[in-house]
Structures are given as structure tokens and as C-alpha cells.
Amino acid sequence: MGTIHRSGVYRKTNDSARLIIVTIVGVAFGFFVGISFPAVTFTKIHLHSSFTSSLDMSIVNQNEFRRSKSLETLGSGSNVTNIYVPTNPRGAELLPPGIVVAESDLYLRRLWGEPSEDMLKKPKYLLTFTVGYDQRNNINAAVKKFSDDFQILLFHYDGRTSEWDQFEWSKSAIHVSVMRQTKWWYAKRFLHPDIVGAYEYIFIWDEDLGVEHFNGEKYIQLVKKHGLEISQPGLEPNNGLTWQMTKRRGDREVHKDTEEKPGWCSDPHLPPCAAFVEIMAPVFSREAWRCVWHMIQNDLVHGWGLDFALRRCVEPAHEKIGVVDSQWIIHQVIPSLGSQGKSEKGKAPWEGVRARCRNEWSLFRSRLADAEQAYISQTKKGVMDIPSRGKSENAKESSKFNWIVGLKSESVLPQPPSFWKSDFSKMGEMSSFQLGVIGALFLSVASSVSIVICNKALMSNLGFPFATTLTSWHLIVTFCTLHAAQRFHFFDAKAIDMKTVMLFGILNGVSIGLLNLSLGFNSIGFYQMTKLAIIPFTVLLETLFLKKQFSQKIKLSLLVLLGGVGIASVTDLQLNFVGTILSLLAIVTTCVGQILTNTIQKRLNVSSTQLLYQSAPFQAAILFVSGPFVDHFLTKKNVFAHKYSSIVLAFIILSCIISVSVNFSTFMVIGKTSPVTYQVLGHLKTCLVLAFGYTLLHDPFTIRNIIGILVAIIGMGLYSYFCVQDNKKKQSVDLSLASQMKDKDSTPLLGMPDKEGHEAKKSTKVSLV
């Protein structure tokens, strides 16, 4: 009895310990998985209105909303209902959410009939010109290059509007007339993002553009194809060209970078060598315009300097800002507002306007640099003090509030000044991005280690050696899971060019097959060396073809990492010709596939889920067809003749379930970080698998394994540290790029009298609207 009693105590103690350990692991895993997904707000979940109202009320300070008891009247039949919904737009908190319309549009509507029948076809894009009547023929020619999918909006700086009715299209266009104003003045006041949110792309063009070689529909197709959020047509090289970046290239559809004069570009991914378009003919996606609009200053009307700051509104800027070469325009360099200035102190009108332009450029640079510096210094403290929106200037100066990062209820706190808007947006995006990266990395490690242990038990202990076929089943289950998720609207499917998806899917499928064949033809040691070679080859490809720069410190940390993994995992190095060829092909296809995973997500602006959903069927198809042959060649066994016991089927199902997480996290990690970082993470998994194999499966473990794992961990730590340092350096790049250049202002930039006409033709900023 005593023995039984003691064993019961031990059993109870062990059960309690297991329960505690499982609880801790579950909480940690749930936390990291949770933060890897975007935050979910209650307003996007369709719950009963009384339930969401009570949730909203709990967010706000109880002392400020003592009327909460009156919410009990909701649905009670009372004629008087007190409502307060803090998640409504600012000023609309007292309205029920169902009646709030936060955005508008510029659609023209009838004064009669049913509202739902007003629009037979809604324009998808907005085309704006800032015009004077003298340029009517040029504008008429330009408008004819755009289809009825484009809404035409003319800003008149000369007050002449009715004369434009000689053109039939003008009768359905929108006309805004204010004397002697620039297009950025108009844009700030009439193109608020909530007004133009109905349009996918917004064109904000000058009036002196020749469009003989341009077509609006084809331009939109190219912008979508290449994932450009901010763009412009290429410029005819011989007319009004200032920057090499905007020069048309005749051998391609789009370009996103260029080479400038020595010393002009501190970084090949920064303006004016990349992430740069001029302000004469920019085209913005509605998402990019929402950010750019907030960066435009109310009192700086010429827009100078804005072109160098556009990169702040898209990420990564060097991928999403570009010039469309195959649809190009000619800058005619016609003076517009220069002659409408005022003559002062004996100076010509255009000289005063030019001086104002230069001064505005300097002011904008200073404001942006000061705002960034204030943001950095304040965020070091964790809290920002920003003037609130008082009703008077004195109130603005005296009233301060703490802007807590991540608080989204606009009704609780006042909004920051407009020129801070984009910085706050980026701050929130960066915070969620970092959390998403942490979650993706943890999910990748946890799921990969889990599936390795599961598959090792399945293949080694249960005698199921068909790795390639099993991988095809993984991808089939992954696609079916994503398809069900898409049908339930957990994510939106995004159409991707079929040729791109097919080639990408087949390439990834082939790389998996080649890696398995490499393992079959080579020793374990040589196979591990093949996997180690993927990192330096990826670095080489990104350096040669993507112009990506890796610092010497990062290269050193990668060398330490590879050395540690090599010590821990490489045992023998038996070579043979066929195995070597297969290993080289496996390295090339794996590297290219992972680089494409990163590139496609960023250039086509698709999420990891959308890309995996589109490509999984092709990966599964190539492996499902070739898998049985590859496995039979490697194992001399037939996957279809294998005896499937219940425990084997259970482990296969478990492996397929885990594979959904593995595939999803793989695409997420590569999309959020880089192919090199994913490979570094892969070697962390190798070390963890060795450790788990020793602790759980009692695999042999030597002092060499321990030393190798420790060296690899040091290498990973150094890689992470140097990556963080490099990112900080990139984020702290100052916008005062013009100070690094030779003084371009020595060339007159505005229209002049005839005797100065030669110099005027050299400028792209002659047209001031």
C-alpha cells in the first residue's frame, strides 16, 4: 500500500508539472501566433449592435461617459435614444454607425429619378489638370488619350471656365476655379483622401505635357502589373529633362532606378537614383495619396521638395515607385504661373515666383527634418507631446496631450498636426510590422521543428520513407485549407499573372524534388553542405541582380553562422558527379525561388497568404506527379503499395496539418524579411532539431555538436544585431539630399522673358501648376 501511495504522489506531481508546462507553452505560442496577424477591431466583426456598443463603451474612460445607462433604451421602443459610438469618425460619435458616411466622391448625379440609377458606369480613376485657357488645345489632346473610366477634373487658375464648353467632354468634367493658384494648393483643398477614395489612381498633372505616345488604359495596366504605388510616364530625353531617373528608356516597360552624377546618391535605393518621380506628372494609388496628401503643407503651394519625400509613403519605396517607359510624354516647358507673379523692387514677376519656390523647398526640408528629429527624440521616451487642436492659436500653444502609440480611437484624443500624419502612420505600421515579424519567425520555428520531429517518427520509426509524395500531400492540404479560409472571407484572393504564378509554383516544386534527390545521391554531410551553400549563393544573386548591399559585418556574421552549423551537422563529405550536379541545381532553384517569393510579394503588393494560395496548386501538381517516381527511385519502394496502418495514417494527417503552418510561415517570413534571413532561421531550426533529437528521441550527441550549435547561435545573434543596426541607419537618413549635390539652382527654373528663354528650356519646373 505504501508503494502504491508513493507512486500516486509521484504521478500527481508529474501530472501537475506537465499541466503547468503545457499551459506556459500554450500561452507563449498563442501570443506569438496572435501578434503575427493584423489587429482585429470590433467594427469589422458583424456582431449585434447592442453588444458592439457595450464593447465600445468599455474602451473609454468611465468618468467621461456617465450617459452609458441610457444605452439601455436601445431597442426598447423609446422615441429618444442616446448614442455614443467612439469608433465613429471624429464629430460623428452621436450617430448610429449605420448612417455614417465617412467618404465621398466626385461622381456627377441627376436631380431626378432613383439615386441607385444615377450612375450607369462609375469612373475608376481621377485625372486632374491645373489649366489656363491658353492651353485648351493641349488639354483637349491629352483628355482624348483617356477613356470614360477616367473622371476629368480641371482646376482653373485664370478664372475662365465657361469657354471650355466648346469641347464635348468638358460638359461632363468638373471645373474648380480660383485665381492664380497652383495645383498643389488645389490638391490640398479639393482632393482630400476621403473625397477621392472612390478612385483607384489619381493623376495630378501639369498642363504642358505632350501625350502623342501615351495611352491612359495601357498606363494603368503597366502600373498594376509592376506594383507601382507612385509613378509617372517616362520623359522624352531631349525635352525638359533634369533628372536621369525620369528619362525614358526604350528597352523596357518600367524602370525603378538609375545612375546619377557622382555624389548625388548616398544610397542606390534613395532619390534621385531610386524611389523618385517628379511633381510635373505624378500618378498615385489611393493608398499612397492618403499619405502624400497629409504631407503637403497648407502654406507651401509650389510643391518643391515633395518629390524627394514621396518615398516615405510607400514601403519598400525603391520597389513601389517607378517610371513607366513604354507610355511616355514630352514636357513642353511652357511658362504658366511665372508671368502671373508680382513685380517688386525692380524684379520681373517670374523672379519673385522663382524665389518663392526655392524658399519653399528649403522650408519643406527644414520642417520635415525637424519633425523627424522631434519624433525620434520623443519616441525614445515612449510618449509624444504634440499640440492639440484648440480653437485658437493660444490654445494650440498651451494645450498638450500625450499621443500613445497604437491608440486608435479618434474621439478620445485630438489629432496631431497634418505634417505629422505620415510619420504617425509609419510609426504604427513599423510597430505592427515588427510584431508581425516576431510572430512569423516564432511560428516558422515552432511549426518547422514540430513537423521535422513528426516526419522523423513517421519515416524512421513507422517505415514511411516517401518524402516527396508526402510534401505534395502537404501542399494539397495547404491549398484546401486556404481555399476554405478564402471562401469564409478570412482573406481576399488577389489575381496574379498566371504565367508568373505557374513558373513560380513549378520552380518551387522542382527545387523540393532536387533537394530530395540530392539527399538520395549524396552523403548526409554533403547534403548539409548543399544547404549551407544556399546562403552565400543567395547573397551573390541579390548583390548581382537586385543590387542589394550587404555590409562586411553581416557577411562576417553569416560566415560565423555557417561555420557553426557546419561543425554541428557536417560529418562526411563523399563526392560523386551526379550528386554534385543535383546539389548545384537544387541550390540555384532554391535561391531563385526564395528570392522570387520576396520579390513577388513586394512588387505585386500581395500578401504571403495570397501568393501561397495562388501558387500551391502548381507546386502540389508537379510534386504529386513526380513524387512517386522520385521516391521509388530513392527508396526502391512503391508509395501506392505501402501498407497504411491506422497509426501511420494518423501521423500523415498530423504532418499535413502542421504543414499548413509551415508553408504559411515560410512565405510570411520571406515576405516580411528576406531570403537570407529565412535561411538563417532555417539553420536555427537545424540546431533546435539536433537538440530536440537528443532530448526527445535520444539521438547521439557529441561535444562537437554542442560547440557547433553554440557557434551558430553566436553567428545568429551577430546577424540579428547587425541587421538592426543597418535598419536604424537607413531610417535615420536625412532628406537634405540637395545639399549633397552641386547647386542645381544656378539654372533658372521658371519661365522668363524671351531673352532668357534658352535657360528656361532647361528646366522641368517651369510649369508651376
Question: pLDDT per residue over 651-688, tens digit each?
Answer: 999 999 998 988 888 777 776 776 667 667 666 666 66
**Three cell numbers written together for 668:** 510570411
Read off the DSSP letter of residue 413: S
Cell of 220: 494603368
Would you put residue 303 in left (φ > 0), alpha (ψ -120 to 50) or beta?
left
Count the residues in the chain. 769
Q: Which helix (H) or strand (E) holds 277?
A: none
Are 753 and 354 in contact by the 8 Å Cβ rule? The answer is no
| Grid cell digits, residue 301 | 503651394
Q: Which of 62, 37, 55 lies closest to 97 in space, CA to CA? A: 55
Question: pLDDT band at residue 569, thresholds of 50, 70 and 90?
Answer: low
Neighbouring residues of 160: CB distance < 8 A, sequence distance ≥ 6:
132, 133, 177
| The three three-digit cell numbers of residue 466, written as one number | 516517401
Distance CA 189, CA 153 (A): 14
Under the banding of pLDDT at 50, 70 and 90, the label for residue 223 is very high
Closest to 587 (Cα-Cα) out of 521, 522, 526, 514: 514
β partners of residue 201? 125, 285
pLDDT at 667: 76
**Number of other CB atoms surrounding residue 8 within 10 Å:** 10
65 sits in which H/E element: none
Instruction: Output the CA angle 616-617-620, nearest 5 degrees.
Output: 80
Q: Which of 117-121, 388-392, 515-519 has the lowest mean pLDDT?
A: 388-392
Average pLDDT of the segment spanning 639-645: 91
Pairing between β-strand 209-210 and β-strand 230-235 as defined by DSSP bridges: unpaired
The strand pair at 384-387 and 283-285 is best described as unpaired
Q: What is the predicted pLDDT for the residue at 669?
A: 74
Tracing cell 519624433 back to the chain, one arrives at 375
Q: Does pLDDT of 252 surpass 60?
A: yes
Predicted pLDDT of residue 395: 37
> What is the bridge-based pairing of β-strands 150-156 and 125-131?
parallel
State how far the Cα of 116 lies from the Cα of 114, in Å rounded to an integer: 5
Can you state the angle between helices 608-635 and 646-672, rounded to 10 degrees?
130
The pLDDT assigned to 81 comes to 62
pLDDT at 260: 81
pLDDT number for residue 199: 95
DSSP H or E stretch at residue 26: helix 2-35
C-alpha 523: how far from its chain's center? Answer: 42
Which range has the worst mean pLDDT, 396-410, 424-438, 610-624, 669-683? 396-410
Contact between 199 and 152 under an 8 Å Cβ cutoff? The reply is no
pLDDT tens readout for residues 126-183: 999 999 999 999 999 999 999 999 999 999 999 999 999 999 999 999 999 999 899 9
Exposed / middle / buried, residue 732 (Cβ in 10 Å: 0-12, 13-18, 19+): exposed
Q: What is the pLDDT of residue 579?
A: 80
Q: What's the number of CA atoms in the CB half-sphere (13 Å) around residue 522?
A: 30
Task: Report the share of the chain in percent with pLDDT over 90.
Answer: 33
Q: Indicate the residue type of 765.
A: K
Q: How many angstroms separate the CA atoms of 427 and 312, rounded?
A: 11
pLDDT at 401 over 60: no
* Alpha-carbon torsion, ordered 36, 41, 46, 52, to 10 deg: 140
**Are the beta carbons of 245 and 270 closer than 8 angstroms?**
no
The answer to whether the CB of 224 falls within 8 A of the CB of 124 is no
Instruction: Determine the CATH number of domain 118-338.
Output: 3.90.550.10
**H-type helices in 198-328, by residue range?**
216-225, 286-295, 306-309, 317-320
**Would you kindly state where each structural domain of the chain is located, as residue ranges?**
2-35, 48-99, 118-338, 450-731
Work out the widest C-alpha separation in the chain, in whole angstroms: 115
Per-residue pLDDT tens digits for 365-387: 999 999 988 888 887 765 444 44
Per-residue pLDDT tens over the stretch 720-736: 777 767 766 665 544 34
Average pLDDT over residues 66-79: 44
Task: Give the whole-angstrom CA distance, residue 227 versus residue 476.
Answer: 29
Nearest Cα to 371, choosing from 352, 356, 387? 387
Is residue 763 predicted with pLDDT exceeding 90? no
Residue 169's pLDDT is 95
- Whether residue 743 is predicted with pLDDT greater than 50 in this model: the reply is no
Cis peptide before 97 (omega within 30 of 0): no
CA separation, residue 48 to residues 54, 55, 84, 721 (Å) = 10, 11, 16, 48
Give per-residue pLDDT as tens, 149-163.
Answer: 999 999 999 999 999
Take residue 742 and report the three cell numbers written for it: 552641386
CB of 637 within 8 A of CB of 631? yes
Asked whether 343 and 350 are in contact (CB, 8 A), the reply is: no
620 by Cβ neighbours in 10 Å (0-12 / 13-18 / 19+) ranks as buried
Owner of C-alpha cell 489656363: 132
